[in-house]
Amino acid sequence: MIKVTTYIFALILMTACAKTPQVEIPALIPIPVTLDAGDGSFELNSRTKIVINVDDPAQVKLAGYLNNELLSVLGYDLDVVGQVGKNTISLEAPSQESAQFSELSFQKNPESYQLDVEDLKIRVAATSSEGLFRGIQTLMQLIPLENNEKADKVLLPALHIEDYPRFAWRGLMLDVSRHFFTVEEVKSYIDQMAKYKFNIFHWHLTDDQGWRVEIKSLPKLTEVGAWRVPRTGQWWTYDPPAENEKATNGGYYTHEQIREVVQYAADRYIQVLPEIDVPGHSLSMIAAYPHLSSTELPYKVNPGSKFYTIEDNALNPAKEEVYEVMDKVFTEIAELFPFEYIHVGGDECYKGFWTKDKLCQDLMKKEGMSHVNELQSYFIKRMEKILQSKGKKLIGWDEILEGGLAPEANVMSWRGMKGGIKAAEMGHKVVMTPTTHCYLDLYQGDPQVEPDTYSMLRLRDVYRFEPVPEGIDEELILGGQGNLWTESVYTLGHAQYMTWPRGFALAEVLWSEKDDQDWEEFVGRMEEHFDRLDAVYVNYAVSVFDPIVGLKAQGTGLKAQEGSRLRAQVVMETELVGLDIFYSFDDSYPDEHYPVYTEPVLVPLGATVLRVVTYRDGKQMGKQMRLELSKLTF
């Protein structure tokens, strides 16, 4: 008897003292503001319960979201209850005794959250459901990936996180005009954004190549404007539509579908910013309603052939009927999109036809304008009035500064940071999205082995992005965003390839503290997140593993000579440390048995091609790259 009692006592003691196993903290992107590792781990299994305030509809939704995510990753369908106990994940308000930091950050930032993982329970705490949602994303990243389908339990590391974003505007833009993306594809894009704590989906809905949103009062916008002739190949080289060729490529979203996407995004605490790009980039609208342009000619929607300066793609700012049409468009847009901002484009407006138009010239005289840029400014100011009448704020590309900025306008700075700086100096709010750091349509590796586009933006340059220029009031910089223009992007898989991992870099730049941003450490975490993308069948680029290859003149005078590339030195480097580069000049496929690059190599006589590949610890990391020496640059 005594023996049994002693045994039971010993067992109780052992259980009380037993530590749950220590497990490694998985990589988190974006890196949280504070993370304190704890002892032990939480065992998540199919008996774990989600605890919420069951009277709060937002929390009921959050529990549904969390449960869905857990179901898809682990196959568990957890009970949702109202009472905290053992083996629970609870969504709560932050506790009073938490650090001083929290109180401040919670006040300042509705997206702040705390996450506690302990032996017996997990707690996500925030003052808003938005904060809880961001915390749930971090929690999901703590779930290990290995063998999840078969696991009857997974261990999450004990830790305490307090976290909040650096910027309130963390966006990605998707252009659905140049190539149309279905509702399901758009939702999938938004879903992935949510996982990395983006909170603005900028939907570029109209452009010269297609009008994508139903406007019930102007049915031709989609009957005509949503369709162009099909073309495949290199953008800007396509044949224009033939005489009787059918416009079969395109599509548009009905009001119902727009509402569905907006709700889908709202459930992920993402605001949808609609863009109606005017007065330029408006050929699809003009194809539907030719009287809105200066020439009034019957153009077709452009399939991606050269047309600038030949066809008139700008609304005529001197016509009153243009403003009547704009009012109709923005009435419906304002009803469809609850976000306080509407984007009116304003970029790259070709004004050549305005200079020849009598109405425009008369208006300029009447208003005392000396430059056509002032006509655009006049137009944008009237857009602002229209939007204000619908309770909305205007945002536009930085060209809206030209000719004078509208009084309350917000500026999206894309041609570098200077437009944003100028706007901020005048006290306007700014979103920074310079081509130099944020254009996701650009190459992310050597053009010879990347999908066709026109300029370069490597991952490390995205990670170097600093949205607040020196000397500018941080309060005026709302944040930043990545822009994916889709002239050369035909499919969702390609859109994903262009977005990730550069989207990881932007997510971290826009969320995490500047001092916590560390390139080498980031790329290590990035690799773990490639596995997460694999697990959900989302595409991404591994171009960051490829070498950067250039040429160096050998000796003096050679560079200038005809054919100098063929007697130059090849210079190679990598964006990441720890990669070995193997190469061949004989057009055979290099691997670890080939020469390893250590210093500039003289191009052998007769060689016209360089093949390179990178390895790390015996594993091929980069692509097999076949580079024509004649296309490399000094």
Residues with a catalytic annotation lie at: 207, 281, 348
571 Cα distance to chain centroid: 32
Measured from the CB atom, the residue of 397 and 511 that comes closer to ligand ACM is 397
Work out how close the CB of 596 gets to ligand ACM at its nearest, in angstroms, rounded to a whole number: 41
Q: Which tokens go with 433?
A: 């999205």
Measured from the CB atom, the residue of 198 and 414 that comes closer to ligand ACM is 414
Using only C-alpha atoms, the chain has a radius of gyration, in whole angstroms, of 28
Measured from the CB atom, the residue of 172 and 579 that comes closer to ligand ACM is 172
Q: Could you give the residue ranges of the DSSP H alpha helices within 75-182?
A: 100-108, 129-142
What is the distance between the alpha carbons of residues 616 and 614, in angstroms, rounded to a whole number? 7
Q: Which tokens go with 505?
A: 């870099």
Measured from the CB atom, the residue of 241 and 480 that comes closer to ligand ACM is 480
Measured from the CB atom, the residue of 39 and 452 that comes closer to ligand ACM is 452
Task: Provide the 8-state DSSP code for 83.
Answer: S
The helix (run of H) or strand (run of E) holding residue 341 is strand 341-345
E-strand spans in 34-120?
A: 34-45, 49-51, 79-81, 88-92, 113-117
Query: Which positions lie near ligand ACM, rule CB under 6 A?
Result: 347-348, 397, 414
Work out how close the CB of 214 gets to ligand ACM at its nearest, in angstroms, rounded to a whole number: 24
Work out how close the CB of 397 gets to ligand ACM at its nearest, in angstroms, rounded to a whole number: 4
Measured from the CB atom, the residue of 189 and 397 that comes closer to ligand ACM is 397
Work out how close the CB of 441 gets to ligand ACM at its nearest, in angstroms, rounded to a whole number: 9
What is the distance between the alpha carbons of residues 514 and 518, in angstroms, rounded to a whole number? 9
Work out how close the CB of 296 gets to ligand ACM at its nearest, in angstroms, rounded to a whole number: 25
**In the complex, which residue's CB is closest to ligand ACM?**
347
Q: Which of 59, 113, 49 is nearest to 83 (CA)?
A: 49
For residue 279, say if its preceding peptide bond is cis, omega within 30 degrees of 0: yes
Q: CB-side exposure of 404: number of CA atoms within 13 Å?
A: 14
Q: Are 484 and 178 in contact (CB under 8 A)?
A: no
Instruction: Give DSSP secondary structure letters for 362-374.
Output: HHHHHHT--SHHH
How far lies 282's CA from each of 68, 193, 279, 350, in Å? 41, 28, 6, 11
Query: What are phi and psi for residue 495, nearest 5 degrees?
Result: -60, -40
Q: Which of 410, 414, 375, 376 is nearest to 394 (CA)?
A: 410
Work out how close the CB of 274 gets to ligand ACM at its nearest, in angstroms, rounded to a whole number: 15
Work out how close the CB of 431 gets to ligand ACM at its nearest, in angstroms, rounded to a whole number: 12
